[in-house]
Amino acid sequence: MSKKEYKKELEFLQVELLKLQSHVKKQNLKLLIIFEGRDAAGKGGTIKRITQHLNPRGCRVVALPKPSDVEKTQWYFQRYTAHLPSGGEIVIFDRSWYNRAVVEPVMGFCTKEESENFIEDVPYFEALLRRADIKIFKFFLFIDKDTQKKRFQDRRENPLKSYKISPVDEKAQELWDDYTKAIQNMLTKTNQTPWIVVDSNHKKRARINTIKYILANTEYKDKTKIDNLEVDNSVVFNVDDAIK
């Protein structure tokens, strides 16, 4: 995909996203989009393209810092519930409660028992959200080890991206296999609300196909022809296909 083709298709899809947002607002709907993925997989860049032209009054991005001492004493899901969408709102989580399934156990920020309890509890939690008429999309963006290494190096060398490097990132390559096991466990055991796995080794294709997936699987007024929202099956997968 050339830069010109990418820009043209992105602009077309962003117009569709505006139609979707208008429909969500008028129908008082609640839309929750969760982005998870390996470090440097492109979550922030994808979210930026989704929200770029949306009205910020009806769309929020939630990227929570590490929990405070008080939050550590609370029910695990408690600090996330305050950020769930209200009627007429789109909320996007840049990482979410799924920290407890991957980053926290791999990095030793929680116990094995706490992570296992989370894996058991989260399907029930998300069932309650669906019962409350919250429509949920869960995306996992994956990249290969070499791509992650190159993107980390770019962040170190680019002063405008250096803020993205954290101590957790620095351990990502060293703990690659541990992350792989935790990710596979999470995807297979928490798929009751389906995960959509996106190959993000090529950022432009990942962004375009993620947006297409959201639009193709949501009804809204004046929606474009479904053929215009056809997702590339070499980029977007269900869990069973992704972990083969």
Sequence letter at residue 164: K
Q: What is the pLDDT of residue 192?
A: 97
Q: What is the pLDDT of residue 244?
A: 66
* Contact between 102 and 186 (Cβ < 8 Å): yes
Q: What is the pLDDT of residue 158?
A: 86
- Measured CA angle at 208 (ends 133, 211), to 5 deg: 10
Angstrom distance (rounded) from CA 91 to CA 94: 10
DSSP string, the chain: --HHHHHHHHHHHHHHHHHHHHHHHHTT-EEEEEEEESTTSSHHHHHHHHHTTS-GGGEEEE---SPPTTGGGS-TTHHHHTTS--TTEEEEEES-GGGGTTHHHHHTSS-HHHHHHHHHHHHHHHHHHHHTTEEEEEEEEE--HHHHHHHHHHHHH-TTTGGG--HHHHHHTTTHHHHHHHHHHHHHHS-SS-EEEEE-SSHHHHHHHHHHHHHHTS--TTPPPGGGG---TTTEE-HHHHT-
Task: Provide CATH code, domain 3-242.
Answer: 3.40.50.300
Residues 6+ apart with CB under 8 A from 34: 92, 93, 96, 98, 136, 137, 138, 139
pLDDT along the chain (244 residues), means of 10: 94 98 98 97 97 97 96 97 98 98 96 98 98 98 96 88 79 95 98 98 98 98 97 95 77
